[in-house]
């Protein structure tokens, strides 16, 4: 009998002694359905957090040894726990600002579009700019571009400059055009178009580089306005389970606000900032390299533009597209001449900075791959993690090159179900079959990093996962999927939104999975997206968001923490 007792007691004593020799966890989540995105240990039941790091992942019993007198315990009640979502492509300050601006994306007619702008003008002070919008004329019948005449009578005392939802076209009223000095005699700039009527007069619609005429006369956001926008964006991200974002082309003033909030301990979303490549000399001068900074705020990447967008008719294609007059699209002003972009990229790469380049049309993408290839030949092999942002319309010949150059496809699944309403009518079936080609990229061994392009599209990652898994267009006309052969499985889509995005910012050893040693960034969801019908994924909510072991969102406790 004594032998039996001793035999049972010794392992128990060993566990007790081990527990006594380690510090107690500050947070334990138990009774969870954990999908870790760690291929070595994909599923677990509990996780322990010490400081801002995960220290244990396993069964309830295995993690219980980390339980101490002051440990906070969350009973997940069987809910799905995932790594926090890392949005690989956002415009964070404009997203935060848009939460307070006039909302036009769901306006279903030109009349509704104009009515909302008029209501905003009634609330605005005389001379105050009316901004934001994210309008989408493809939801109107007829689907015609808006003109200044539509809004001039409603906005006589306010300059108006409203973005199309893709960010590559805006509508100005006559007040704004007058302030910008845009007339019938104003030339189209390189990489931009002033849309004109039959008499050559500006209609108010400005494409890509032509928008700069107006941007130059819009007052800069004050520090207080920028701070307010960032705080709005942080709270919104937390409410959706987004724990990291990669901010494309922020102003330095934006980064200064992030730094200020970091110093105050109020930066609740991790940010990797990628200013415009036109500012390459600034980062080269101070000698920083890719992913420089702290776990909460880093720089060292640069964002460039190859072309525009399909919706604005400015994506750059090998073959013409659209209705007459047919167009090949536009190369951005940064690409004119091409040697200018080449020189900037070479300088950035030589300095160890990461390149993230917007390219949507097949020829725009192909030219960027050419430039990336030239860099590799000139500077030799290195772990560069070249990125192409959007990678929307691929030429068949370039999937292999993407893989050979180890380029990351930084993509936004929601765009596929949005553009899928009309893209095929503009570029034809063949080219549309290679639009947001998630499956083809994976089959070629290309890494995917998922995001949203917020505020171009909603920040909600559930909508992105839904889009990647179903490819069901927003108009309801493709319930089985638009080019369904490009669908992903739920695990593949989650991985692209977590580990894929972490890899795209050189942080795969720090986050992206629920693994001991990594940052404790996690989200508890209302439903199990592995078991519910795929069409229900879009309705799933974040119950709790955890960043660095701290709860930043708790739906049951009233929201932001």
3 state SS of 178: helix
Tokens of 320: 């013409």
Q: Which CATH superfamily is domain 1-78+514-561 in?
A: Urease, subunit C, domain 1 (2.30.40.10)
17 — pLDDT class (breaks 50, 70, 90):
very low
Please name every residue paired with 297 in a beta bridge, in sequence order, or none if there are none. 271
Tokens 């200018």 map to which residue? Answer: 340
Query: What are the pLDDT digits (tens) for 411-455?
Result: 999 999 999 999 999 999 999 999 999 999 999 999 999 999 999
- Residue 509 to residue 518: CA distance in whole angstroms: 7
* CATH 3.10.310.70-classified regions of the chain: 93-215
Q: What angle do CA 39, 42, 43 make, to 5 degrees?
A: 170
Query: Which residues, in sequence order, are bridge partners of residue 86?
Result: 244
In 3D space, the residue among 244, 249, 355 whose CA is nearest the CA of residue 294 turns out to be: 244
Categorize the per-residue pLDDT at 10 as very low, low, confident or very high, splitting at 50, 70 and 90: very low
Query: What CATH superfamily classification does 224-507 receive?
Result: Metal-dependent hydrolases (3.20.20.140)
Total residues belonging to the chain: 561
Does position 220 have pLDDT exceeding 70, yes or no? yes
Q: How far apart are the first and last CA of the chain?
A: 55
Portions of the chain given CATH number 3.20.20.140: 224-507
Asked if the model's pLDDT at residue 393 lies above 90, the reply is: yes
pLDDT for the residue numbered 20: 54
For the ranges 34-48, 138-152, 294-308, 491-505, which has the lowest average pLDDT? Answer: 138-152
Contact between 354 and 384 under an 8 Å Cβ cutoff? The reply is: yes
Q: pTM surpassing 0.85?
A: yes
Q: Could you write out the three-class secondary structure of 507-542?
A: CCCCCCCCCCCCECCEEEECCCCCCCCHHHHHHCCE
3-state SS of 338-391? HHHHHHHHHHHHHCCCEEEEEECCHHHHHHHHHHHHHHHHHHCCCCCCCEEEEC
Instruction: Give per-residue burial for 2-31: e unless 16+ CB within 10 Å, then b.
Output: eeeeeeeeeeeeeeeeeeeeeeebbbbbbe
Per-residue pLDDT for 8 more than 50? no
Q: What is the DSSP annotation of 89-128?
A: EE-HHHHHHHTTSEE-TT--SHHHHHHHHHHHHHHSPTT-
Mean pLDDT for 334-357 is 98
Is it the case that residue 12 has pLDDT exceeding 60? Answer: no
DSSP 5-24: HHHHHHHHHHHHHHHHHSPP
Is residue 6 scored above 50 in pLDDT? Answer: no
For residue 22, name the pLDDT band (cuts at 50, 70, 90): confident
Domain 93-215: state its class. alpha beta
Cα(385)–Cα(211) distance, integer angstroms: 31
- Give residue 9's pLDDT: 41
- Reported as a single tens digit per residue, the pLDDT across 97-145 is 999 888 898 899 999 999 999 999 999 899 999 998 889 999 999 989 9
């Amino acid at each position: 009998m004594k032998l039996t007792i001793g035999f049972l007691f010794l392992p128990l004593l060993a566990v007790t002694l081990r527990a006594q020799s380690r510090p107690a966890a500050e947070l334990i989540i138990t009774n969870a359905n954990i999908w870790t995105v760690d291929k070595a240990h994909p599923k677990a039941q509990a996780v322990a957090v010490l400081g801002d790091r995960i220290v244990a992942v396993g069964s309830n019993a295995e993690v219980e040894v980390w339980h101490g007198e002051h440990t906070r315990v969350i009973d997940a009640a069987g809910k799905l726990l995932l790594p926090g979502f890392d949005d690989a492509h956002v415009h964070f300050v404009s997203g935060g600002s848009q939460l307070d601006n006039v909302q036009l994306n769901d306006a279903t007619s030109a009349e509704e579009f104009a009515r909302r702008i008029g209501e905003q003008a009634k609330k605005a002070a005389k001379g105050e700019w009316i901004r934001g919008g994210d309008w989408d004329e493809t939801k109107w019948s007829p689907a015609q571009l808006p003109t200044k005449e539509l809004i001039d009578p409603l906005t006589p005392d306010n300059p108006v400059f409203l973005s199309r939802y893709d960010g590559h076209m805006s509508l100005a009223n006559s007040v704004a055009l007058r302030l910008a000095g845009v007339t019938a005699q104003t030339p189209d700039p390189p990489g931009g178009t002033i849309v004109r009527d039959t008499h050559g007069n500006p209609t108010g619609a400005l494409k890509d580089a032509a928008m700069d005429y107006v941007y130059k006369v819009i007052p800069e956001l004050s520090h207080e306005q920028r701070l307010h926008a960032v705080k709005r964006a942080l709270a919104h991200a937390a409410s959706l389970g987004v724990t990291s974002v990669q901010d494309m082309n922020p102003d330095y003033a934006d980064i200064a606000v992030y730094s200020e909030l970091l110093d105050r301990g109020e930066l609740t979303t991790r940010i990797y900032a990628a200013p415009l490549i036109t500012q390459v000399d600034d980062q080269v001068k101070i000698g920083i390299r890719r992913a420089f900074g702290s776990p909460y705020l880093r720089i060292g990447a640069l964002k460039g533009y190859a072309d525009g967008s399909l919706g604005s008719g400015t994506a750059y294609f090998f073959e013409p597209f659209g209705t007459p007059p047919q167009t090949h699209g536009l190369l951005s002003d940064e690409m004119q001449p091409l040697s200018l972009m080449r020189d900037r990229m070479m300088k950035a790469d030589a300095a160890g900075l990461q390149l993230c380049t917007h390219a949507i049309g097949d020829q725009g993408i192909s030219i960027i791959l050419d430039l990336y290839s030239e860099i590799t030949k000139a500077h030799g092999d290195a772990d560069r993690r070249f990125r192409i942002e959007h990678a929307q319309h691929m030429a068949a010949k370039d999937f292999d090159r993407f893989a050979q150059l180890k380029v990351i496809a930084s993509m936004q699944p929601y765009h596929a179900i949005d553009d899928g309403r009309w893209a095929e009518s503009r570029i034809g079936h063949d080219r549309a079959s290679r639009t947001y080609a998630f499956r083809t990229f994976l089959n070629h061994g290309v890494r995917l990093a998922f995001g949203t392009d917020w505020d171009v599209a909603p920040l909600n990652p559930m909508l992105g996962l839904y889009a990647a898994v179903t490819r069901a267009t927003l108009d309801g006309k493709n319930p089985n999927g638009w080019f369904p052969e490009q669908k992903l499985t739920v695990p593949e889509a989650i991985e692209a939104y977590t580990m894929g995005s972490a890899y795209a910012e050189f942080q795969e050893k720090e986050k992206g999975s629920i693994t001991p040693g990594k940052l404790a960034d996690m989200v508890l969801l209302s439903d199990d997206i592995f078991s519910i019908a795929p069409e229900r994924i879009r309705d799933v909510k974040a119950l709790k968001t955890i960043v660095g072991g701290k709860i930043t969102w708790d739906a049951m406790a009233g929201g932001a923490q």
